[in-house]
Structure 1
């Protein structure tokens, strides 16, 4: 997948997309569908299988996508407020300039997913499973990764503010590209992550508190 965000026309399935005016209902499926400018509130989209679909300027509030599957999808300029993506699975997908606020994403599975210029505010990623995931130029604020499994996850040009890592498992996680790295809890779970010497210095007070070390002049 490209290091730069793709436009709609760049998608390999762009010419086959058919415009839809509404999201599918529970346990339905959507193949080669374009959801452009769709707005939904309190909608149930549970258990839906999306394959080679594009979402542009989608707006959802308090809607449920629980247990849905997203394969080869592209999400651009979209907003998700509250609601849930719990237990969803995503693979070979790209999300660009989109925001998630107060969204439940516990138990989500990401495989080969790239986030470009996305914002996550008070998002629950507890017990998530992420492998080969990139957060590029993103903001993750008060994001909870408690109990999550992160493998080959990288952060480039992104701000991580007040993230929680309690009981998380990290393997080959590259945090060196973070423009800010602030950990609210779970500092002891950073084993398996790579950080820079400067980040180590900045995190020193947090490590000291986690170890019960008192620093005095």
Structure 2
């Protein structure tokens, strides 16, 4: 991996395993990352443009304040990773898992989560525009103070919102999803439902 304030162009990072790695503020352009295992490491403030990530694991550590554009992430997992303040533009995630990932204050535009699992992800204060979740499971997600525009959740195979249900303005859901979310909507509105 390049040193801080360096850049990498058209590079392949294959089979890298690292703990406590610090590559803050690095610019990656047209790079490929294959079968990485990165633990408790920091990429804070780094930029990823036209990159491809495959079969990689990110455990704890931070990708906070990073920017990603025109990129694809495939069959990868993120567990306990700090991604607050991340900027995603034209990014597709295929068959990825996000477990307890902090997306607070993230900015996402033209982002697709396809066949992904997002468990206990926190989108508090995030801005999502033209984001979709085709074939994905979203469970226990937090949407407090989120701003949505043209967000399509109809393709989600599971949709469970832990908090912030009242902030779903700007999202499109199916009638069945509406029924499943009805108790959460009632709680958010302070409505008691009793026999």
TM-score over 0.5 for the pair: yes
CA distance in 2 between counterparts of 1:88 and 1:101 reads 17
Q: Does 1:24 align with 2:2?
A: yes
CA distance in 2 between counterparts of 1:165 and 1:33 reads 36
Which residue in 2 is equivalent to 1:12? none
* Post-superposition offset of 1:24: 1.2
Which residue in 1 is equivalent to 2:194? 216
Could you list the structure 1 runs, at least 4 aligned residues long, displaced by more than 3 angstroms after superposition: none
CA distance in 2 between counterparts of 1:40 and 1:133 reads 28
* Post-superposition offset of 1:203: 0.4
Q: Does 1:137 align with 2:115?
A: yes
Which residue in 1 is equivalent to 2:176? 198
1:112 to 90, 94, 116: 90
* Post-superposition offset of 1:25: 1.7
Which residue in 2 is equivalent to 1:20? none
Q: Does 1:152 align with 2:130?
A: yes
CA distance in 2 between counterparts of 1:68 and 1:27 reads 9
Which residue in 2 is equivalent to 1:60? 38
CA distance in 2 between counterparts of 1:123 and 1:200 reads 25
- For the residue of structure 2 that corresponds to 1:103, the secondary structure is coil
- For the residue of structure 1 that corresponds to 2:182, the secondary structure is helix
CA distance in 1 between counterparts of 2:74 and 2:64 reads 20
CA distance in 2 between counterparts of 1:28 and 1:182 reads 41
- For the residue of structure 1 that corresponds to 2:21, the secondary structure is coil
Q: Does 1:39 align with 2:17?
A: yes
In the alignment, structure 2 segments of 5+ residues that lack a partner are: none
Per-residue displacement from partner, 1:64-87 (whole Å, max 9, x unpaired)? 000000000000000000000000
- For the residue of structure 2 that corresponds to 1:177, the secondary structure is coil
Which residue in 2 is equivalent to 1:121? 99
Which residue in 2 is equivalent to 1:82? 60
Q: Give the aligned length.
A: 195
CA RMSD across the alignment? 0.4
CA distance in 1 between counterparts of 2:176 and 2:91 reads 28
